[in-house]
Structure formats: C-alpha cells, structure tokens
Structure 1
Amino acid sequence: MSIVNDIRTAFSRRDNALNQLLLINVLVFVAFILLRTVLFLVTKDKNAHLPILQWLAVPSVPGTLLTRPWTLLTYSFIHFDFFHILFNLLNLYWFGTLVREYLGDRRLVSLYVLGALAGAALYLLAFNLLPVFRDAPAILYGASAGVTAVILAAATLLPDYTFSIIFIGPVRIKYIAAVVVLVSVAGINGGNAGGEIAHLGGALLGFVFIKQIQAGRDLGRPVQAIGDWVGNLVSGRPNLRVTHRSGPAEAPTAKKSGPIKPEQEEIDGILDKISRSGYESLSKEEKQKLFKASQK
C-alpha cells in the first residue's frame, strides 16, 4: 500500500525527526483507537483497554513504577482524545520547526525525550510529596510535557519571533509560552492536575536546555548516545574503531577551542536582509549563522 510505503520512507530518512515524532504519535493514537474499539466489540466493556493503558502510562505509585520503568518514555506517545492529540501535534509542528532549523534533528528529539522525562519526574514528586495528591493514585499519559519543552525552548531561543494567530494577529512566541505556563499553573486545581504539573516540568526543561546550549553544554548528548547505540543495534552496524598508522610526522595544527563564529560582515549582511525582507526571507544556513553569532 502507498500509505505503508510513505511511512517506511519517512522513517528511513535521517533528517526527518520532526515528522517521525509526529508520525509515531499518530500511529500510536490510531492503534489505540482500533484496539479500544475491538475490545469493546468483543467484551462489551468500554474500559477493557485500561489494563493495557496502565502498562504504558506512568503510575504515580513508585512501587508500581519500578515494575514498569519503560512508561517514563512510552507515556509521551499516548492519546485517546482527538483534540488532545490535535493541539499537541500542531504545537509540536509549529515550534518544533523552529527548534529543528536552529539546533537540528538530534537535539529536537533529545529535547522532546528530556521534556517527557522531566514532566514525569515532577509529576511523581508532586503526587508523592504534596499532601493534596498523596492519597490519589493516578496515571499520566500524553505528549504534552515533551511538547511544552519544545514550546519553551523555541521561546527561549527566539523570544521575539512572531506567529500569526487567527482573530488575534501577530504574537511574539515568548508571550505564547507565558500563556502556556500560566494556563498549566491555573489548571493544577482542575481535573487534570497530573498533566498540568507534567507540563510545568517540561517547560522548565525546555528553558534550561536552551540556556545550557547557549553556555556551550548540550544536555541531550546522553539521549543521542543511547539513540545511536540502539540504532546500531537494530541495523546491525558495528561501531567504528579509529586506528592510527605510523608514518611521516605531520605539522601540528591549531587546536580549535570551539565552534567557528561567522564573520561580523556576514552577520551585518544578514541583518540588512532582515531589515529589507523580514526574518522569514533568511535561508536555513543564514538563520543558523545568526544563532551562532548570538552566542558570543
């Protein structure tokens, strides 16, 4: 089928991380909708899918979590409500596109994964340390923590970038991020306290992630290393070992102390282009050079 071929092609590309994250969420959503329907037709029980959900969602009880550690990641790809996944994927696409343009595919995936882990961590802390939640066991699922990390990362990276919102007009994304955080804080005393707390964990991670990148430290390296190891294991590719042959001595080369910064004249040219044609007229390479220059 052409749909199957399209999906296989999307996952075979190495520069397609954003679409792959979107696809995984959609495929899991469709799988659960089909599973829930089949189980209902067979058992006549609308809640027959809950035991499976509980094996994939993060439990608030630490003892249960120890028997299901994989839930710290699997929960971030599970949705049951159409509007829940719709808003999550729209935000992931809009803000993820910005993060991917500046930081690349690998860091986008790292940010999503770390945001999900941070959201789960804050949720577990709240439900086990705060008296108001301690006697109310719950489960956590949904991509919102990872998506909120991407939103806050984009807003920290490009605070004055504007999105045009229907009925409102152009809005700087730093204000969109502020509203996202405020809504999550206000929703803690509502019916989805665990989800809102997880949003805040993801938001904090997104902010810290970019601040560390700007300071020259990449928090996503462990995630990338694990991803490389799993990829090599699945594909059967051996790890490459570097060997040195003895030979004529080579002239010593200057040691690089960090990434090469774009020349000031080139940056001035990019800024002139923005003043003439707007930020959207820049190429991906020009945007990356502008970001590197901002780290000076």
Structure 2
Amino acid sequence: MASGGLKYYLARLNIAEKLIGINVLVFIASGLLAVLIGIPKDAVLNWFELPEDVNEFITKPWTLVTYSFFHGSLGHIFWNMLLLYFFGRIFLNLFDNQRFLNVYFLGVIFGGLLFMLGYNIFPMLLSTNAILIGASAGVSAVLIFVCAYIPSREVRIIFFNIKLWQLAVFVVLKDVISLSMGSNVGGMLAHFGGILLGYVYATQLLKGNDIGSGFTKLWNGLAQLFKPREKKAPLKTVYKKKTSKNKTKVDYDKAAHQKKIDDILDKISKSGYESLSKAEKDFLFKAGKED
C-alpha cells in the first residue's frame, strides 16, 4: 500500500480503532523483540507494567497509563480489543473523540489506582508479588458507560437480543464471582475501578455534570507543550471593510447541525436512546462518523 493510501486509511479510523491498532502493534513488537533480538519479554514489561508496590511505582509513575498497552496473551488482547471495537462504535455515535478518551483513560487510571490500593490495604494479597497489564480497566469503563447512559438499547449477541443494562449486570456479576474465587485478583480490582468510573461518569453526565472536563484541560495542556510554535508574522496595518453582523449560510448550517445534535442528546438524557425516531438515530450515527 502506498504511503498516501496508508495515510488516507489511518485518517478514516475512529479513535477507538486507532487505540486498537496501537495495542496490537505493541503486542506484536514486544513479541518480536523477544524472538528476533533476544530481549526477554519480562525485561521490556518491567518498564511499563504497573507494580503493586507504591515505592516502586513512585520511580515509574508513567506505568499508571502504559500498563494498559501491554497484554499477556493472544486471548487477553483479542477479547479486550473486540469489546473495545463494538462498544467504541456505540460510544462514538453519541459523543466525540475527546469524551471517549476521557472515559477510557480515566478508567485505566482509576483501575490502576484501585489495583494498588487493594494490594496495599488487604494483607492477604501482600503475600504475592503482582503486576498489572492489559486494557481491561479502560474497556470496562467504556462498556459500562454506554450501558449506563443508554440502558434500554438492545444489542445482538449471536442469536438473541439483550438490553445493555442486562449486559452490564452480567459483566459485574462475572467479575464478582471471579474475585470471590480468587481468580486474577489484581485484574478484577482493575476491572472494578473501570466499572465504577464508567458508571459514575455516565450517571453524572445525564445530570449535566462532565467529571472529565478537568482531564480534557490537562490533555489539551499537554498537547500544547508538544505543539510546534508558529513564527509570529511582522505586524501589519490592515484596513478592512466592516462586515455586517449577518452570518454566512455556512455558519447557519453549522449552527443548525450542532443544535440538532444537542437536541437529540437532550432527548436521550431525558427519555433514553429508544425514544429516538429512526431518522434521529440515523442522523446521530452520521454525525458521529463525521467527527
């Protein structure tokens, strides 16, 4: 594929698909380093996995995010990315890329913090050395967010339909049973961190409170640090003819388009996704693709 074609293809991917691509590339690259160069996989993971020991974490604070890009097995990454793909599509039909990143990475961070907190509060867990890898906390946050925001919407699971709130109950019960059986305790703690974040984010957003607004400001601030500075052009005196306050047709079209989106989202928050007409659902789906 030519470089131009590749750039076009990458530009068409939504943010969830780009995250999936990054995770897959990291998984392949970490495996190739071990096979082709002879670098042990554990030696690579040691710099990116999240440890349960707080003192060790202080020396590697970036691991609170980087752990989510590494997976222990093919099955581990396959199921995480499959869920991220399907629920990412639903999410992005409702909201923009920034809100998706807010939910996903706040889920990753909160899941990592709950993992460390659990291992340092409960003595029975301290007898084992543990590390955390995998995108499960972020994926759980996105999944539960969608289920809590539009609980009455139905999705197809192989041969039958199921409401999203029912799917959320199943996911939570599955993790509770796994935790009670002592199966992958650290991973389950991270899951619950993502689940809690996704639920609180969705329920607060339905009340008009965006708990991720601070994260958006932080994200934008970091982006500005790495943005190349533009050279200031010399000052010029420019005479312009005063324009009227009348907006152009393009401005009106954009404003009308955004107002229609806002009206539909308000309707969802008040009456649920199922209250939308087919035309409104189609419009929202196309608007999500345009973002």
TM-score, L = length of structure 1: 0.76
Shifted more, 61-70 versus 48-57: the winner is 48-57
1:12 CA displacement: 5.4
Residue 17 of structure 1 corresponds to which residue in structure 2? 15
Q: Measured at CA, do residues 73 and 18 of structure 1 come closer, stay the same or move farther in structure 2, by a change above 3 Å?
A: same
Report the 3-state secondary structure (helix = DSSP H, G, I; strand = E; otherwise coil) of the residue aligned with 1:37. Answer: helix
2:152–2:274 Cα contact (<8 Å) kept = no
Count of aligned pairs between the two proteins: 258
Q: Give the counterpart of 2:201 among 206, 209, 225.
A: 209
Q: Provide the rounded CA distance (Å) in 1 between the counterparts of 2:222 and 2:286.
A: 31
1:174, 1:142 → 2: CA distance? Answer: 25
Cα distance, 1:223 vs structure 2? 2.5
SS at match of 1:83: helix
CA shift for structure 1 position 224: 2.0
User: In structure 1, what is the equivalent of residue 253 of structure 2?
Assistant: none
Change (3 A) 1:8 1:29: farther
2:141 touches 2:199 (CA, 8 Å); kept in 1? yes
**Which residue of 163, 171, 179 maps to 1:180?**
171
Q: In structure 1, how many angstroms separate the alpha carbons of the residues matched to 2:150 and 2:31?
A: 37
2:56 corresponds to: 64
**Deviations 1:226-277 (Å, cap 9, x if unpaired)?**
3223333333156xxxxxxxxx9xx9xxxxxxx96639xx999x98874xxx
Determine the structure 2 residue equivalent to 1:90. 82
What RMSD in Å do the two structures reach over aligned CA positions?
3.4
The answer for the alignment partner of 2:118 in structure 1 is 126
The equivalent residue for 2:29 is: 31
1:282 paired to 2:281: yes
From the superposition, tell whether residues 220 and 236 of structure 1 become closer, same or farther in structure 2 (CA, over 3 Å): same
Which of 126, 129, 133 pairs up with 1:141? 133
Tell me the equivalent position of 1:262.
263
- 1-structure distance, mates of 2:205, 2:139: 18
Q: Determine the C-alpha separation between the residues in 2 that align with 1:62 and 1:16.
A: 35
Q: Work out which of the residue numbers 68, 83, 103 in structure 2 matches 1:111.
A: 103
- SS of the aligned residue for 2:226 comes to helix
Report the Cα distance in structure 1 between the residues aligned to 2:88 and 2:153, rounded to whole angstroms.
Answer: 13
Whether the 8 Å contact between 2:145 and 2:202 is mirrored in structure 1 is: yes
| Equivalent-residue separation in structure 2 for 1:174 and 1:287 (angstroms) | 25
Q: Which residue of the partner structure matches residue 235 of structure 2?
A: none
Counterpart residue type for residue 129 of structure 2 = P
Distance in 1 of aligned mates of 2:113 and 2:144: 18
CA distance 1:196–1:7, change in 2 (3 Å)? farther
1:227 equivalent in alignment to 2:222 = no
- 1:119/1:10 CA distance change after superposition, 3 Å: farther
Distance 1:148 1:49 in 2: 26
Q: Is the 8 A contact 1:54 1:139 kept in 2?
A: no
Shift of 1:9: 4.7
State the distance in 2 between where 1:105 and 1:151 align: 15
Question: The residue matched to 1:102 in structure 2 has which SS?
Answer: coil
SS at match of 1:196: helix
Could you tell me which runs of 5 or more consecutive residues in structure 2 were left unpaired when the two chains were aligned. 231-241, 246-257
- CA displacement, residues 148-190 of structure 1 (integer Å, 9 cap, x when unaligned): 00010000011111121124x1111211111111111111233
- Which ranges in structure 1 are unaligned for 5 or more consecutive residues? 239-247, 252-258, 289-296
> Could you say which structure has the greater relative contact order, defined with CA pairs below 8 angstroms and 6 or more residues apart?
2
In structure 2, the CA distance between the partners of 1:7 and 1:90, relative to structure 1 (3 Å rule), is farther
- Report the counterpart of residue 101 of structure 1 in structure 2: 93
Q: What is aligned with 1:294? A: none
Q: 1:216 to 1:273 in 2, by over 3 A?
A: closer
Structure 1: distance between partners of 2:111 and 2:70: 14
Question: For residues 16 and 226 of structure 2, what CA distance do their matches in structure 1 show?
Answer: 21
Counterpart residue number, 1:256: none
Whether the 8 Å contact between 1:163 and 1:172 is mirrored in structure 2 is yes
Counterpart residue type for residue 186 of structure 1: I
The one-letter amino acid paired with 2:163 is R
